[in-house]
Amino acid sequence: QQQVKQSPQSLIVQKGGISIINCAYENTAFDYFPWYQQFPGKGPALLIAIRPDVSEKKEGRFTISFNKSAKQFSLHIMDSQPGDSATYFCAAADRGSTLGRLYFGRGTQLTVWP
């Protein structure tokens, strides 16, 4: 059972446009929601994360929007650049769990055309 559902699977955006990736979860115990960015041949790197006590977090061109009642969260990349072309993974975790396990979405391959 997929704990975190991510869409779309792939996304093509023009340079300067907005990239939007959506994720949904079911487990109400989840209280930590990070996004990871992965370039080809590299390991994923933490990009930005949010906790459910806030509805939005912004870091530069990257913004996470969080809707606790709908159990959904999304990543917005403003002014998308070709260097943003990568695979993006959303994830969720229960910070109270000693296993510390992150449940990942299946990833979105973003391509930004110049």
E-state strands within 1-61: 4-7, 10-14, 19-25, 33-38, 45-50, 56-59
**Of these, 7, 32, 57, 72, which contacts another protein (CB under 8 A)?**
32
Tell me the C-alpha distance between 75 and 80, whole Å: 12
**Of these, 19, 23, 24, 34, which contacts another protein (CB under 8 A)?**
34
5 sits near another protein (criterion: CB under 8 A): no
Sheet hosting strand 72-77, strand order edge to edge: 4-7, 19-25, 72-77, 62-67, 56-59
Nearer to another protein, 44 or 75 (CB): 44
Tell whether omega for the bond before 8 is within 30 degrees of 0, i.e. cis.
yes
- Closest contact distance (angstroms) between CB of 28 and another protein is 16
11 sits near another protein (criterion: CB under 8 A): no
114 sits near another protein (criterion: CB under 8 A): no
String of contacts with another protein for each residue 80-109, x by CB under 8 A? ---------x---xxx-xxxxxx-xxxx-x
